[in-house]
Amino acid sequence: MTNANSEQPLQPEDVYAEYRELRASRPVSRDDDGPWRVALYEDVRHVMKTHATFSSEVSQAVQEDGSARVSMLFSDPPVHSRLRDLVSRAFTPRQVSAQADAIKARCEQLVTRLAADDTGDLIKGLAAPLPVGVIATMLGVEDGDFDTFKRWSDVIFGNIGEILMATPSEEAVAASEEMNAYFLERIAALRTSPRSHLLSDLVHVETDEGRLTDAELLMFCALLLIAGNETTTSLIVGATRVFHEQPETFDWLKKSPEMVPGFLEETLRYHSPFKMSIRRALHDVELRGQKISEGDLILPLIASANRDERVFERASEFVFDRNPNPHLAFGLGIHSCLGASLARLEAKIAVTSMLEHLDGISISDFNPAELDGFGAPASIPVSIRRAA
């Protein structure tokens, strides 16, 4: 990371050094038979937009299972179009903005508790419970079931690679089965007695293409956990990391809170929570002179694209008022993030609440390499300066 006013890196960042090297000399490359890494902004955009060539059905096992168990994120049209159309009808801007008051109340509670002491844990105190609580509310999880829900969420996310490749651990299978049984009961009850939350709306949504089946509803519950939790946690961690490395940013935002949305866009670019996606080539194709064969896996490196010097001026600097900021943190094309406005709302409320209640926050034992890893760490001890 560099200071806003200097070209000097503040911390070594191995993953970003590697991405820089890939962009400079091996923009489309792979090790042995591993997946292709695509590092340039233009190419990442191309791969993520061109679903007729670069399929999201990455797991052979998923393909064999047929549509019922296919997650929307890992499916192509026409299965994807049907699911996205149905789900978008319930996942509306109204559903999202209806959550603002509850998110504010939750942030007030969490940040006040965090501010009660000089030290605390960013993950346990704010960055994890906020998104899990939001998703639990959307799915109608009752208060008493919250801890169990969080455990399922942690196990499923922790095993996502294996789940995707159809080799989940026993622990992940058990967590999925427990969660499915829980939600199947809920879904049956919601069919006869609708409630006012997203899962209930999804149960009742109907188009010419029919309704979502139980299996599809279960798929969506798991997808929200996978897609919406850890990513939002990472965005809050990214913002706090900027406050740690550039404390003056905290002071600027305190004076000008209207700049929080732009600051968060730069955080999404600079500390992209979803570092890479995955696709499979549907036929032989050439990308920047490299021959990619049918069936090969491809990793569009979103975090590298977001630091591409060809697109972003001062790409390796955090420029808190960058404008325009065409980052790819939420993806693009048919799979572009369905929860982007919700994630932005949650992070905006969380950061605003921090600005109101604190005079500063810093990360103890700051370890950039750990923060740049896959997913957020389980714990991030912080020192807190309470607002006077």
Verify binding: residue 82, ligand HEM, rule CB under 6 A.
no
For residues 67 and 58, give the distance between their C-alpha atoms in angstroms, rounded to a whole number: 14
CB of 380 to ligand HEM, least distance (A): 17
Read off the DSSP letter of residue 163: H
Give whichever of 115 and 350 is closer to ligand HEM, judged by the CB atom.
350
For residues 337 and 140, give the distance between their C-alpha atoms in angstroms, rounded to a whole number: 22
Alpha-carbon distance values, 214 to 66, 69, 186, 203, 253 (Å): 15, 10, 11, 8, 45
Stretch that binds ligand HEM, among 170-178, 250-258, 336-344, 348-356 (CB under 6 A): 336-344
Return the ∠ at Cα 266 (arms to 263 and 268), rounded to 5°.
110
Q: Which of 38, 190, 235, 384 binds ligand HEM (CB under 6 A)?
A: 235
Structure tokens at 15: 């993953």
For residues 343 and 338, give the distance between their C-alpha atoms in angstroms, rounded to a whole number: 10
Q: Which of 1, 38, 58, 73 binds ligand HEM (CB under 6 A)?
A: 73
Give whichever of 73 and 242 is closer to ligand HEM, judged by the CB atom.
73
Stretch that binds ligand HEM, among 1-9, 116-124, 189-197, 231-239 (CB under 6 A): 231-239
Binding mask 24-63 for ligand HEM (x = CB under 6 A): ------------------------x---------------
For residues 364 and 51, give the distance between their C-alpha atoms in angstroms, rounded to a whole number: 43
CB of 67 to ligand HEM, least distance (A): 14
HEC sequence for 62-98: HHHHCHHHCCHHHCCCCHHHHHHHHHHHHCCHHHHHC
Verify binding: residue 277, ligand HEM, rule CB under 6 A.
yes
Give whichever of 20 and 327 is closer to ligand HEM, judged by the CB atom.
327
Residue 78, preceding peptide bond in cis (omega within 30° of 0): yes
Binding mask 120-149 for ligand HEM (x = CB under 6 A): ---------------x--------------
Contact 345, 100 (CB under 8 A): yes
- Report the interface residues with ligand HEM, using CB under 6 A: 48, 72-73, 84, 135, 223-224, 227-228, 231-232, 235, 273-274, 277, 329-331, 335, 337-339, 342-343
